[in-house]
Structure 1
Amino acid sequence: MPTWKREDAAELSSESVEALIRNEIPAVRISGFASAEECAAFTNAVYNSPDLKSYSVETPTHYLGLVMYEYRQGGGRKAEFFDAAPAAVAAQQKLYDQSFDVPSRFREMLGPYYDGPIVVPIEPGYGSYCPVVVRIASNGVHLHADFAPYNSPGWEIGAIEAQITWNLYTQCPSVGGQTTVYNAPWTPAEDDDPARGLPDSTVESDPTVQSFTFAPNVGEIVLFNPRNPHKIAAGSASEGRVSIGSFLGVNANNDLLMWS
C-alpha cells in the first residue's frame, strides 16, 4: 500500500498541490475561502432552487448541475449529458447571482499554485462540460472512488493522468458529516463495472491502510485525491450539508481540467 508523507492536511501551496496530485498527502485545507454571510446566501439559494435533482442511489442525495455518474451507466449517454450542460450551467448561475461566483473565485485562487491553465474541458463533437456540481448530502454518501480513466473511458476526461477533487462547504451539520479518505488508490477488478465507481472494498477493515477524516467547516475548501476510496458520514436529521465543487484532472499537456 502507498504511504502518505504526512497524516494531516496541508495548507495551500504549489508544493502541496503537486503532492496531492501525486497522492503523497491526504488533503489540502483552505480556511476562510468564503464568509459566513456569503455561505448563508449561497445555501439559501440552493434550497430555494427549482432545479434540484436526486441521485439514483439508495441514500437520498440531491444535486444541482450535472454529475457524470447519472450518465455513464449502461454504456453511457454522452449526447444527453452535453445536451443538458447549458441548462445546468444556467441553473448554477442563478445561485451565483444570489450569492457569489464560487468557481470563478476558486480558479483565481488556485491559479498561482498550479503550473498550467485551469480549463473546463470540451468534448470533441459535443461541447463543454459542466464545471461544478452542488450537492446536499445530509444523509451521507456510501464508500466509493472516482478516477476518470476507469469511470469514463472514451470521454475527453478519460485521458487524464491524475485526478483530485475540491469542495467548498456552505452548510455543515454540528454532528456527523465527516469525510473519510482511505489511502488505497482504486483499480477496478476484472468483474467490476467501473462506471459505478467502487462497488465493494475491504479498505475500511484493513489496518494497513492509512485513513484521514475531516469534519468540514463553513466557508472552507478541502481538496483530496478521489481515486482513494472515500465516504461521507450521515449528519443530524435537522441540519443540512451543502457543498459545491468539482474534479480536477491533469492531462498530457499539464492542463488542469475542471468538470463535475
Structure 2
Amino acid sequence: MATLEAIDENRLRADHSLNSLHSLPLPADICPQQWSSLSTGRFSEDSIQDLFLNRIPDVCESGFLTVSECQRLVDIIKTHEIGSYPIADIWPPVGTVGIAFNHVEDKGSYFSSVREAQSLQDRFRTEAGIDVLGRVCQKLREICAVPVRIAREGDIEYFAGLLRLVNRAAKLHADYGPFDAPGWEIGQISAQLTWNILLKDVDGGECIVHHRPWQGVTDDSFKNPPPDYGYSRHIVADRQSKSMKYKVGDLHLFNSR
C-alpha cells in the first residue's frame, strides 16, 4: 500500500496507482444510503471531504500531468525491471513496481525494502524531472490546507508510489487500512482514498467504483477462492456504481473502502 497522510494541525495502475490515507477525526462507518450525485467532483476541499465521507463517487483533476510528461514516464518504465505479486496471492498476474505491506512476511521485511522500492520514483525525478508524489502532496496541501506527508511507522516512512500494470482487468476488491493492516500504523486511519493516474492510453481503462463499503471479515463469505483475490459480484448487487473512464494524465480519486 502506498500511503500519504493528511493531518489536522489541531490534533497533532499501465496504471499508476497511489493510495492516500486521511487521519482527520471522521467517523469510520458513515455511509449514506446513496451518493448525492453520480457526477465527478471538482478538485476542492469540499469534494475531498465528501469523498472521504462516501457522499460522492469520485473526484478528478484533469490534465494533472501533461501527455508529454506521461510519455516520458512510460519511456522510463519500459527500461525498468517489473515485478509482480506472488501468484499464490494474485491471479491473474498483475505487474508491479514497488511494495505493498500485505505481500511481505513482516514489518521488518517491508520497511527494509522501502528504499529499493523507491527506485522508479527516483528515476522519474532525476531522468524526467517529474516528482509525481511531490505534486500530489502539494495539490492536497493547497486544496485542503493541512500538512501532507508520506505515512510513517514511528520515524520510518512507508513506501509510496506503487505502479501497477494490469494486462486485462483488476478484480472486484477494496482497500481499507483498519481491515487490511491491524497492528500497523496505517490501521489507525479513519477514512481512505485511492488516487490513480493513467499514463498510457489503452483499450478499456475504466475503473468501476461501487457504493458498498467493505465490512472486513464479515464479507469473507463473498470472497472468491484463492488465488483469485476478488469478491463475488453478488456483494455489489443492487448497489450504485459508476464507471470512471480515465484520460491520460488525469488525477482521479475515489473512496477505496
TM-score by length of 1: 0.78
**Residues 177 and 215 of structure 1 are in contact (CA less than 8 Å); yes or no, is this contact kept in structure 2?**
yes
**Residues 121 and 131 of structure 2 are in contact (CA less than 8 Å); yes or no, is this contact kept in structure 1?**
no
**Matched position secondary structure for 2:196:** strand
Deviation at 1:92, TM superposition (A): 2.1
- Unpaired segments of 5 or more residues in structure 2? 1-31
**Residues 17 and 28 of structure 1 are in contact (CA less than 8 Å); yes or no, is this contact kept in structure 2?**
yes
**Matched position secondary structure for 2:96:** strand
Deviation at 1:121, TM superposition (A): 1.6
Q: CA RMSD in A?
A: 2.1
Equivalent position to 1:69, from 99, 102, 114:
102
Equivalent position to 2:80, from 42, 45, 49:
49
State the one-letter code of the partner of 1:35.
T
**Residue correspondence of structure 1 range 20-169 to structure 2 within 5 A:** 20-50=51-81, 52-56=82-86, 57-71=90-104, 76-99=105-128, 100-124=130-154, 127-169=156-198
**Matched position secondary structure for 1:166:** strand
**Matched position secondary structure for 1:8:** coil
In structure 2, relative to structure 1, the CA distance for the partners of 1:91 and 1:32 (3 Å cut) is: closer
Q: Distance in 2 between matches of 1:183 and 1:66?
A: 28
Q: Distance in 2 between matches of 1:201 and 1:117?
A: 38
Larger mean CA deviation between 185-194 and 18-27 belongs to 185-194
**Residues 122 and 129 of structure 1 are in contact (CA less than 8 Å); yes or no, is this contact kept in structure 2?**
yes
Q: Answer yes or no: is 1:178 the counterpart of 2:178.
A: no
**Residues 102 and 181 of structure 2 are in contact (CA less than 8 Å); yes or no, is this contact kept in structure 1?**
no
**Residues 94 and 166 of structure 2 are in contact (CA less than 8 Å); yes or no, is this contact kept in structure 1?**
yes
**Matched position secondary structure for 1:142:** coil
**Matched position secondary structure for 2:49:** helix
State the one-letter code of the partner of 1:40.
Q
* Identity among equivalent pairs (%): 28
Q: Figure out how many residues of one structure are paired with residues of the other and give that number.
A: 217
- Unpaired segments of 5 or more residues in structure 1? 228-260
**Residues 42 and 96 of structure 1 are in contact (CA less than 8 Å); yes or no, is this contact kept in structure 2?**
no
**Matched position secondary structure for 1:186:** coil
Please give the per-residue CA displacement for 1:178-210, whole angstroms capped at 9, x wherever unaligned: 11000000002348399x976445134x22x10
**Matched position secondary structure for 1:81:** helix
Q: Distance in 1 between matches of 2:145 and 2:68?
A: 32
Larger mean CA deviation between 56-65 and 91-100 belongs to 91-100
Deviation at 1:124, TM superposition (A): 2.7
**Residues 64 and 135 of structure 1 are in contact (CA less than 8 Å); yes or no, is this contact kept in structure 2?**
yes
State the one-letter code of the partner of 1:36.
V
Deviation at 1:90, TM superposition (A): 3.1
Aligned partner of 1:244 in structure 2 is none
Equivalent position to 1:203, from 208, 212, 235:
235
TM-score by length of 2: 0.78
Q: Distance in 1 between matches of 2:175 and 2:229?
A: 6
**Matched position secondary structure for 2:214:** coil
Aligned partner of 2:45 in structure 1 is 14
Q: Distance in 1 between matches of 2:154 and 2:243?
A: 38
Q: Answer yes or no: is 1:192 the counterpart of 2:224.
A: no
In structure 2, relative to structure 1, the CA distance for the partners of 1:95 and 1:154 (3 Å cut) is: same
Aligned partner of 2:34 in structure 1 is 3
In structure 2, relative to structure 1, the CA distance for the partners of 1:201 and 1:187 (3 Å cut) is: farther
State the one-letter code of the partner of 1:113.
I
Q: Distance in 2 between matches of 1:198 and 1:142?
A: 5
Q: Distance in 2 between matches of 1:138 and 1:24?
A: 31
